[in-house]
């Protein structure tokens, strides 16, 4: 599944339209965010996570979405189920994100 880049205006609609969602918050200046991007793309294509929508949000350009998830550091990941925030983690290790995704399956 493709990663959808979203913003404050579209975020709420995407949460309503998708039952299971993981969001990666990043910033253009964040080196760890850039290094994690290919891993996030690979996870989005992994059959284990079929049915989970993968979203990218620029944390600096989307303050409302950032505040909604309680972003504290970058990269930052949040999972949502039926529009509700389930859990968050600030990490750059793929295993941490796989564990987070497992909570949506």
Residue numbers annotated as active site: 30, 33
In degrees rounded to 5, what are phi and psi of residue 70?
A: 70, 40
In degrees rounded to 5, what are phi and psi of residue 7?
A: -145, 180
The answer to whether 86 and 92 are in contact (CB under 8 A) is: no
CA–CA distance, 71 with 62 (Å, rounded to integer) = 11
């Amino acid at each position: 599944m493709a990663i959808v880049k979203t913003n404050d205006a579209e975020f709420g609609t995407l949460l309503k339209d998708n039952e299971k969602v993981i969001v990666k918050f990043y910033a253009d200046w964040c080196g760890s965010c850039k290094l994690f991007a290919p891993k996030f793309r690979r996870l989005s294509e992994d059959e284990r996570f079929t049915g989970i929508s993968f979203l990218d949000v620029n944390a600096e350009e989307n303050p409302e979405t950032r505040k909604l998830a309680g972003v504290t550091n970058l990269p930052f990941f949040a999972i949502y189920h039926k529009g509700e925030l389930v859990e968050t983690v600030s990490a750059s290790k793929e295993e941490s994100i796989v564990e987070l995704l497992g909570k949506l399956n």
